[in-house]
């Protein structure tokens, strides 16, 4: 297992970590298999989505904030219930196929770390499994 360090700068943001994960795949010398990415935090998540147009990310965050507002009478005493809910809705892991030593993402896809309770120092665990 390998670990990526992610430093977030905003309360809510998406950070493209595709390049860092691909470097780990290359370092592993695995040419065919699976890459599992997992976030060990309850207020962060991982998603795969478009990387070409930054407005997609802005729209995703705006929609999540409409569906799950920061303040909505939540009971959790730390005041970050919205972050916990967003993380559960998006999910804590992603699995990507590796073929010819390359993450098999679509033309416009990237792997994003989702911060919902920042800024913080975070980590993503990466497990690469050979076929």
Domains in the chain: boundaries: 2-130
Least confident segment among 14-18, 33-37, 51-55, 112-116: 51-55
- Specify whether the CB–CB gap between 45 and 39 falls below 8 A: yes
Q: What 8-state DSSP symbol labels residue 50?
A: E
Name residues whose C-beta falls within 8 Å of residue 78's C-beta, 6 or more positions apart in sequence. none
pTM greater than 0.75 (yes/no): yes
- Domain 2-130 fold is Jelly Rolls (2.60.120)
Q: Radius of gyration of the chain from Cα atoms? A: 15
User: For residue 72, what pLDDT is reported?
Assistant: 85
């Amino acid at each position: 297992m390998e670990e990526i360090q992610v430093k977030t700068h905003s309360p809510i943001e998406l950070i493209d970590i595709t390049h860092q994960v691909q470097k780990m795949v290359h370092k592993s010398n695995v040419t065919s298999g699976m890459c599992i990415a997992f976030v060990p935090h309850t207020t962060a998540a991982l998603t795969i989505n478009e990387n070409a147009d930054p407005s997609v990310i802005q729209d995703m965050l705006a929609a999540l904030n409409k569906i799950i507002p920061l303040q909505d009478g939540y009971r959790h005493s730390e005041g970050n219930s919205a972050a916990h809910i967003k993380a559960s809705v998006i999910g804590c892991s992603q699995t990507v196929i590796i073929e010819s030593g390359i993450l098999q993402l679509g033309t416009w896809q990237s792997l994003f770390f989702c911060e919902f309770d920042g800024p913080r120092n975070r980590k993503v665990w990466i497990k690469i499994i050979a076929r």
